[in-house]
Amino acid sequence: MKAVIEAGGKQVTVGKGDIVYTELVGANEGDTVTFDKVLMITGAKVSVGEPYVKGASVSAKVLKNGKQKKILVFKYKPKKNYKRMQGHRQPYTKLEILDIKL
């Protein structure tokens, strides 16, 4: 059984036992998080929400909260002596999908 959930403003396709990385969820490591915004569930029958499937939920366990590798953003304008360098590390949450309920 697979499901498409909305997590952190993005759509993520998940299945039972999958490990996924999402935007930072406000939960500590070891906590269980429930996602109620389920857009679609596939299995023996396909359920598509308008916009969400009523009564459906996906539960997940938080394995880790962390930051991705640093990326450098460099801007410059040629011949104008304008240079700016900025770094960014995006926070993420590593989840293990425990159950998909319809």
Give the model confidence (pLDDT) of 45-83 as tens digits. 898 988 899 999 999 999 999 999 999 999 999 999 999
Q: What is the mean pLDDT of residues 8-24?
A: 93
* Domain residue spans of the chain: 2-101
Determine the pLDDT at residue 100. Answer: 92
pLDDT tens readout for residues 22-39: 999 989 999 999 999 999
| pTM, two decimal places | 0.80
pLDDT at residue 99 in the model? 94
pLDDT of residue 102: 83
- For residue 62, give the 3-state DSSP assignment: strand
Residues 6+ apart with CB under 8 A from 97: 14, 15, 16, 17, 18, 19, 20, 58, 59, 60
